[in-house]
Structure 1
Amino acid sequence: IKVGGWFELFFVNVLGCPFNTGEIIYIILLVAIVIWAIYESYNNKNQKRENISFLLSVAMLGVPFYGFGISAFIIGVIVLAALWFVLKWKRGKELLVSSRIKHTALLCMLMLMIGYSSYALIVIRSSANPPMDQNSPEDIFTLGSYLSRDQYGDSPLLFGQAYTSQVQFDRDGEYCKPRMKQGAPIYQRKEKASADEKDSYFIVRYKTDYIYAQNMVFPRMWDAAHASAYESWMGGVDGTQVPYDRCGEPITVKMPTQMENIRFFLSYQCNFMYWRYFMWNFAGRQNDIQGNGELEHGNWISGIPFFDNWRLGDQSKLPDDLKDNKGHNVFYCLPLLLGLIGLFWQAYRGQRGIRQFWVVFFLFFMTGLAIVIYLNQTPMQPRERDYAYAGSFYAFAIWCGIGVAAIIDLLKRLNINGTAVSAIVSILCLLVPIQMASQTWDDHDRSGRYTCRDFGQNYLMSMQDKGNPIIFTNGDNDTFPLWYNQEVEGARTDARVCNLSYLQTDWYIDQMCRQAYNSPSVPITWPRLDYCSGTNEYVEVVPELKQQILDFYKTNPKEAKATLGDNPFEVKNVLKHWVRDGKDDMHVIPTDTLYLTIDKEAVRKSGMMMASDSIPDQMIISLKGKNALYKGDLMMLEMISQCNWTRPVYVAITVGQENYMNLGDNFIQEGLANRITPFTTNAPGMKNFDTERVYTNLMTRFKFGGLDKKGIYLDETVMRMCYTHRRLFAQLALNLIQEGKKDKAAKALAYAEKVIPAYNVPMNYLSGGIDIAKAYALLGNKAKAKEAINSVFKNAHQYMVWYNSLSGSRFMQSQQDCMMHLYVMNSCIDIAHMIDNKWAESLMKQFNADAATYQSKGGRLMGEE
């Protein structure tokens, strides 16, 4: 990619050729030179041509060019010169590097080229501008960014900062600015001013990194954003106090010691994030709930009770929902034992055996622990990462297979041999994978389950049918099922899915500005130069300027209106005059309160639920608590202002509050999506829940992916979405009851029970069980209310029994969970009093017993928490 980029810059920027000319010439030369070098090394007729072609192949593949710019070129020349002397070096009369070695090396490099050529598909696909085009890698520079995963950032590997390290500062007069290290340039295609202008690339920005004052070797605890997670995992970090002058302010920095750093590497990155996954596959798995170090979630187990209880607490006291989890698989360590037998047998089977062993070992290591070192993962990962090490598990499975031969060989050495013995051993060893398949079948069987497709479609169906709506999503699980439904199922192709995570990038804004399926482009009026990479990435909110602007309007009203408009804090005016144009070269937002003038007629025609009888003149958007807005926030404001209520704008309910500024005050829920409205919906007398639309969506438009099929497998991620849907039913029922529509509420609850049955989706606190019970109680259906409360209370009680069975630090670490489950039990009792006081008192006795046990072990009392 690097060498190809040099060719591209030379042919396009220097010689004035069209885009991709240099890339095409580079590929042709690369293929020709490598084939020539292979031909020369194979024939072994001319040593000089052989060495030259070999050097050119290495150079064209970019192997010696480390770094970027002229320094990379100089390093490459030095490496190639050194390689030239090595190629000519003789040991006696024989060359140190023979033709055969060069030929083998070239074939290896050719293999890498063939593998790399598959990425041509990425560029070809991107050039067609499909609706989903991540990173838009249409030239060699954007492909390089795509392949190096620039959007995910970097982590230090061999040397760098710790999570407590302070950035170095340089004094610039009265001010201090952080010291930055300039990295490689980032090239983009230049926007043409006219059709006649030649193609060219320009440097849009340079990669930059902070320079830290405190650094350490092999930093494993490095990310300041995960400081509390590091401390929590380690049970506190003592560290060493390092004095530091932070721009005239003397402070002390607590740097973790190298021993603590290594302990985190071994305990979390190696043990928890690799060996735990390894043991899932060859010893057994506790359940499929993501673990973050707690004893009841996602650990490896053997299936041997005394051993598992010693490690993880009494497993018989786990709640039913964990004991019955389909991800609970026990292999009794038999695959592990078989693999270890094969590993040692191969390693100690003479010279041939040890050679074969190292081949398998390096496959095992490089696809396992080597990836652990490279990823340098932080605690609290958003999902389990076992898929990253699948190659390593395949390698160990080779040793499992060799283990069968090892057992047969061992019996032969004991003079126990023959066809019958080999057959018996093979059959007995076959019981190991049979046991594994019998245990794991139920948590790998997806037959009859269409939840991902249907739940994704439910997001789309939550939106209004007319007006080409836009829905903001965030993250993979919110977005990919929606894309699938539009691309494959053809569902709601009139709607536009807009991912807020990607909206920070110019390539994604480009895609939003194009039509997709039956959805017109989103209304972004900015020219590309105002949102291209490196421009308006981060715009400060400076409310101190607000008064100065108001004073300017008082003293010079005509000039003020001419330059800043009638309302200087109107969203469109702020985005144009202060963000894009940069008044007095200040690219800032000069207020913490923005306004949007409301087209009342457009609102009346919009189809949205009116939160009040009157429509306000302005929508107020508060930026309080915001130090700055990022590019995605600015694009969101631009779209809302340009849509002018003629195009519905939604935010998925699973988008976190931190991702949509303070717009939550203007949400009206219509299903799995909140509609952005001009009303302040949380004010007294207002409503933020459209019962009629939610009722229609849930009862007639939503699908539930076969949840009524008994025994269907629901993993943790799917289960969370099942909980979300049931909570929506409960929310709908309570709102309908509040509006006096009890018949509809009863129908909604009955339908919820049918499509999200308790035999597949447990009725507990997380799944809205308390609100379901409360709705039934308000409807007078005491039997159903009691059934729901019993289920929720029993689940919380079982967790209390489990936590109370723990001791010492294990118990102390579970206090937050205990508090939550005691709160759930108490909430159940409150609703039980609405149904049957005597029954409520029996629940209270159980609550008191659990609370007393909890307190006797040193648990905190339930106070304001």
Structure 2
Amino acid sequence: AGWFELLFVNQLGCPFNTGEIIYIILLVAIVIWAIYESYVDRNFKRQNISFTLSVGMLGIPFRGTEWGAAIIGIIILVAIYFGLSYRRKVEKQLVPVISARFKNTALLCMLMLMIGYSSYAVIVIRSAANPPMDQNSPEDVFTLGSYLSRDQYGDSPLVYGQAYTSQVAFDVDGNMCIPKRKEGAPIWQRKEKASQDEKDSYFVVSHKDKLVYAQNMLFPRMHSSAHAQAYESWLGGVQGNEVPYDRCGEMVTVKMPSQWDNIRFFLSYQCNFMYWRYFMWNFAGRQNDMQGNGEPEHGNWITGISFIDNWMLGDQSKMPQELKDNKGHNVFYCLPLLLGLIGLFWQAWRGQRGIRQFWVVFFLFFMTGLAIVLYLNQTPQQPRERDYAYAGSFYAYAIWCGLGVLAIYDMLKKRVKGNEVALAGIVGVVCLLVPIQMASQTWDDHDRSGRYTCRDFGQNYLMTLQDKGNPIIFTNGDNDTFPLWYNQETEGVRTDARVCNLSYLQTDWYIDQMKRPAYDSPSVPISWPRLDFCSGTNDYVQVDPSLKQQVLDFYAKHPAEAKAQLGDNPFELKNVLKYWVRSKDDETHVIPTDTLYLTIDKEAVKKSGMLMASDTIPDHMIISLAGKRALYKNDLMMLEMLAQCNWTRPLYVATTVGSENYMNLGDNFVQEGLAYRITPFTTNKNGAKNFDTEKTYNNVMNRYKFGGLETPGLYLDETVMRMCFTHRHLFAQLALQLIQEGKNDKALKALRKCEKVLPNYNVPYTFMSGSADIARAYAMLGKKADAKRVLMQVWDNAKGYADYYVQLTGPRFDLCQNDLMRQLYIMQSIADIMQLADTKQAEKWSGVANAIYRMYQAKGGQPFEER
């Protein structure tokens, strides 16, 4: 399809998508013609020609996009044609080796594939309508190809490639060493037109190049240099082999993992931890729903049979109460596993028909399970549990579970004489206890009824924003972006606001969407023409403060010429973006300073509705680029919006966005709830206000919703619980700020509201949930009984974990030393806060923490300072 598109657009001058449409028409016509010829079986030659053309049009023999791939593909097609034309003598007649019936079946299979893939036309049709959310904007065959092949996720070596310690190979060019790269397939994109009269065409933005490494190995499972420490930690150290390497004139020693280390990681992590653990969750039992990284208390598989579980993971009866009560704790006693094994072996030993059926189910099981493990080549420290990726193989095993019932009946029938219907009924009823047990265990952690946290928390972000001015909120992750989009698209909430994801903002297709109106929101203030931000242009711009003095000297010597070229102030944000960043001259395509200035429209600030951090409005807002070597496209777009909005359009950053994405604007933030507002004031110095208590109070007390968390028994998984903790942190922060301002009545009301909408029976009081600050606020208000009540629950939680960790032995104890230290730190912190409410209790708790620490030392634990 890509070849056809390039031929008709680039070579013949046709409009975009002409080649793609002609290709689809030809493909459908040729395949239907071939099916007809093979069905009627009247003309042997036409039959073979149509079949060969069908294979060719489907692209099956063509691997790659270069001329070499085309030549190889044509050779394969010629071989297929002559293979189809070969006939042999049977009883003095020439009979085709490959029958018309076989060809017809093969063509119908290919037609089914075509029909299946045709559903992806919805992606292109939807994208062409330019909806508010249009990820990757796959509007032509090239962008659709990138979308389908998941290019944005990168790739990893499968058969042969680098290890995590491998060094990049270099080419020497004179006195320079240049990293060696292998050119990949071209990345085609629509060319931006300088005028309407210009013809449509595609151009190569870049290639899917790959770095070439000097050290490589077969079947590389430990390949990511970013996870070096995680690989070694998982294996308990890598012995490896030391390999000398001349790195551009510098002799270095590279410690390559041995093949045995590589296989150990493959078996222990990728197969066992990232597949068989998930498999056993479904057919043996699950410890809890907390994400695990190899520790003995989180996310392991269990059976429910005490001596087996205690042997594998330590005494489960000593687990912290929080984990004992976890709704993800499910035990099946391995009954589904045993039932499936019985069905598997029974099917395999049922004669020829049985073994044929077995291989069908086995390959469904393998290709949707371990084959995915081989293909993904996963690294440690995955951001979330990946069990959903293997659901297909669990379905396949469930087929064997069903056959296990039949197997038990079949075996009993041979030994028990009598009424077969009655026997079948008894076996069915007994085996039905297995899925009943599974449902009884897993119902509570699959029941989402009454839980609206995702919807309501998404609304809370939107309701944080100012009601007027069409505000913009910058987000970064999934959990602070998709719920907001859902609320706007489906619930119609705050359609006047614009959600702008910083991760996507480094792509041209997303900037295109931001420059279009959406719902009731006008386009974001980006004035750049597309030629300045299309892929391959201004992907990053170097920051070089050493040029600052040269620019100042130029202004001093040639003021008129300098102002004509670079504006009144060379370091004014708008001038830097216009005259430097968007410059087409290589010499000036740089940011020549690490300090930018934004002239402030004081009248606009007064009308903006933002909290005044001081009585006087500064003339300039100073934006520091200190420590940055370059600004990337998303950084530049963020600065462009800041430069263009002129404080008439409020700009916010979600509190869950990491500080590395702030563009050093954190010094100008004022928090108004779940979002920071960008202001022209420096808010982190000289006691300036960086927390708007009045707006935050109004938000949490009157505007926010809490997803039905008051309903007892709701299932809150780890991700939802973290968002609940974010809201409790906000309540605690607000209460402490109000107390600091002397507004004790409001602080107490906020604390009471927090306990009502985020009740302890659904959102437990733990140190990580902001409960310590809740208790501190109660104590500062004189509510010592409330402070003590909260602290007692936080203490019980921390002590439960500490008691569990300190009783572990051997490798399990070594693995949990950091976790034990963390809990001891929490316990001591809670004891310090308890001083505000009950001195004797605080002293008692300090003594308990010290006693546990002495037990830790007696077991050979490293001193606290070293850890």
Report deviation, 1:67.
1.4
Contact 2:461 2:674 survives alignment (8 Å): yes
Runs of 5+ in structure 1 lacking a partner?
Answer: none
Q: Which amino acid aligns with 2:64?
A: G
- Name the residue aligned to 1:376: 377
The CA distance in 1 between the partners of 2:317 and 2:510, in whole Å, is 51
**Greater Cα offset, 558-567 or 58-67:** 558-567
- Name the residue aligned to 1:759: 761
Contact 1:668 1:681 survives alignment (8 Å): yes
Runs of 5+ in structure 2 lacking a partner?
Answer: none
Report deviation, 1:187.
1.6
Q: What pairs up with 1:642-721 in 2 under 5 angstroms? A: 642-721=644-723
Report deviation, 1:318.
1.0
Which of these residues, 17, 27, 50, is aligned with residue 24 of structure 2? 27
Q: What pairs up with 1:140-179 in 2 under 5 angstroms? A: 140-179=141-180
Partner SS state of residue 766, structure 1: helix
Report deviation, 1:126.
0.6
The CA distance in 1 between the partners of 2:88 and 2:375, in whole Å, is 38
Partner SS state of residue 480, structure 2: helix
- Name the residue aligned to 1:294: 295
2:39 is the alignment partner of 1:42: yes
2:447 is the alignment partner of 1:445: yes
- Name the residue aligned to 1:798: 800
The CA distance in 2 between the partners of 1:310 and 1:813, in whole Å, is 17
2:53 is the alignment partner of 1:56: yes
2:469 is the alignment partner of 1:467: yes
- Name the residue aligned to 1:103: 104
Report deviation, 1:777.
0.2
The CA distance in 2 between the partners of 1:265 and 1:550, in whole Å, is 58
Report deviation, 1:857.
1.5
The CA distance in 2 between the partners of 1:9 and 1:20, in whole Å, is 9
The verdict on how the C-alpha distance between 1:387 and 1:123 changes in structure 2, with shifts beyond 3 A counting, is same
The CA distance in 2 between the partners of 1:87 and 1:338, in whole Å, is 47
Report deviation, 1:689.
1.1
Q: Which amino acid aligns with 2:515?
A: C
The CA distance in 2 between the partners of 1:300 and 1:612, in whole Å, is 57
TM-superposition CA deviations, 1:99-125 (whole Å, max 9, x none): 222222111111110110000111111
Report deviation, 1:368.
0.7
The CA distance in 1 between the partners of 2:765 and 2:89, in whole Å, is 81
Which of these residues, 583, 597, 600, is aligned with residue 598 of structure 1? 600
TM-superposition CA deviations, 1:208-249 (whole Å, max 9, x none): 221111111111111112222222212222221222222222
The CA distance in 2 between the partners of 1:58 and 1:375, in whole Å, is 29
2:812 is the alignment partner of 1:815: no
- Name the residue aligned to 2:568: 566
The verdict on how the C-alpha distance between 1:109 and 1:812 changes in structure 2, with shifts beyond 3 A counting, is same
- Name the residue aligned to 2:858: 856
TM-superposition CA deviations, 1:625-660 (whole Å, max 9, x none): 222221111111111111121111111111111222
Q: Which amino acid aligns with 1:455?
A: F
- Name the residue aligned to 1:239: 240
Which of these residues, 2, 7, 11, is aligned with residue 4 of structure 2? 7
Contact 2:454 2:720 survives alignment (8 Å): yes
Q: Percent identity?
A: 74
Partner SS state of residue 198, structure 1: coil
Which of these residues, 784, 787, 793, is aligned with residue 785 of structure 1? 787
TM-superposition CA deviations, 1:235-273 (whole Å, max 9, x none): 222221222222222212221111111111111111111
Report deviation, 1:560.
2.3
How many residue pairs match? The answer is 862
The CA distance in 2 between the partners of 1:601 and 1:816, in whole Å, is 54
Contact 1:633 1:661 survives alignment (8 Å): yes
The CA distance in 2 between the partners of 1:758 and 1:315, in whole Å, is 25
The CA distance in 2 between the partners of 1:561 and 1:226, in whole Å, is 50
Which of these residues, 524, 527, 530, is aligned with residue 528 of structure 1? 530
Contact 2:124 2:138 survives alignment (8 Å): yes
TM-superposition CA deviations, 1:6-33 (whole Å, max 9, x none): 1111122222222211111111111111
- Name the residue aligned to 1:617: 619
Contact 1:582 1:588 survives alignment (8 Å): no
Report deviation, 1:522.
0.6
Partner SS state of residue 196, structure 1: coil
Report deviation, 1:573.
1.8
Q: What pairs up with 1:467-486 in 2 under 5 angstroms? A: 467-486=469-488
TM-superposition CA deviations, 1:357-406 (whole Å, max 9, x none): 01101111111111111111111111111111111110000000000000
Contact 1:290 1:297 survives alignment (8 Å): yes
Q: Which amino acid aligns with 2:767?
A: Y
Q: What pairs up with 1:50-199 in 2 under 5 angstroms? A: 50-90=47-87, 93=90, 94-199=95-200
- Name the residue aligned to 2:517: 515
**Greater Cα offset, 89-98 or 524-533:** 89-98
Partner SS state of residue 834, structure 1: coil
The CA distance in 2 between the partners of 1:216 and 1:665, in whole Å, is 48
- Name the residue aligned to 2:212: 211
The CA distance in 1 between the partners of 2:238 and 2:593, in whole Å, is 41
Contact 2:464 2:674 survives alignment (8 Å): yes
2:544 is the alignment partner of 1:542: yes
Partner SS state of residue 205, structure 2: strand
Report deviation, 1:165.
1.5
Q: Which amino acid aligns with 1:7?
A: F
The CA distance in 2 between the partners of 1:842 and 1:851, in whole Å, is 14
- Name the residue aligned to 2:254: 253
The CA distance in 1 between the partners of 2:598 and 2:70, in whole Å, is 54
Contact 2:413 2:423 survives alignment (8 Å): no
TM norm structure 2: 0.98
The verdict on how the C-alpha distance between 1:658 and 1:410 changes in structure 2, with shifts beyond 3 A counting, is same
**Greater Cα offset, 171-180 or 527-536:** 171-180
Contact 1:666 1:681 survives alignment (8 Å): yes
**Greater Cα offset, 349-358 or 474-483:** 474-483
Partner SS state of residue 434, structure 1: helix
The CA distance in 2 between the partners of 1:91 and 1:415, in whole Å, is 57
Contact 2:766 2:797 survives alignment (8 Å): yes
- Name the residue aligned to 2:640: 638
Contact 1:797 1:850 survives alignment (8 Å): no
The CA distance in 2 between the partners of 1:584 and 1:446, in whole Å, is 57
Coordinate RMSD, CA, aligned = 1.4
The CA distance in 2 between the partners of 1:275 and 1:698, in whole Å, is 44
Partner SS state of residue 477, structure 1: coil
- Name the residue aligned to 1:454: 456
Report deviation, 1:92.
5.6
Partner SS state of residue 720, structure 2: helix
Q: Which amino acid aligns with 2:110?
A: M
Contact 1:314 1:805 survives alignment (8 Å): no
The CA distance in 1 between the partners of 2:88 and 2:672, in whole Å, is 80
Q: What pairs up with 1:489-508 in 2 under 5 angstroms? A: 489-508=491-510
Contact 1:462 1:670 survives alignment (8 Å): yes
**Greater Cα offset, 850-859 or 433-442:** 850-859
**Greater Cα offset, 567-576 or 451-460:** 567-576
Contact 1:577 1:583 survives alignment (8 Å): no
The CA distance in 2 between the partners of 1:575 and 1:807, in whole Å, is 60
The CA distance in 2 between the partners of 1:238 and 1:626, in whole Å, is 37
TM-superposition CA deviations, 1:650-679 (whole Å, max 9, x none): 111111112222222221111111111122
Q: Which amino acid aligns with 1:335?
A: P
Q: Which amino acid aligns with 1:270?
A: C
TM-superposition CA deviations, 1:385-440 (whole Å, max 9, x none): 11111111100000000000000111122244522221111101000000000000
**Greater Cα offset, 84-93 or 206-215:** 84-93
The CA distance in 1 between the partners of 2:471 and 2:182, in whole Å, is 44
Report deviation, 1:199.
2.0
Report deviation, 1:473.
0.7
Partner SS state of residue 495, structure 2: coil
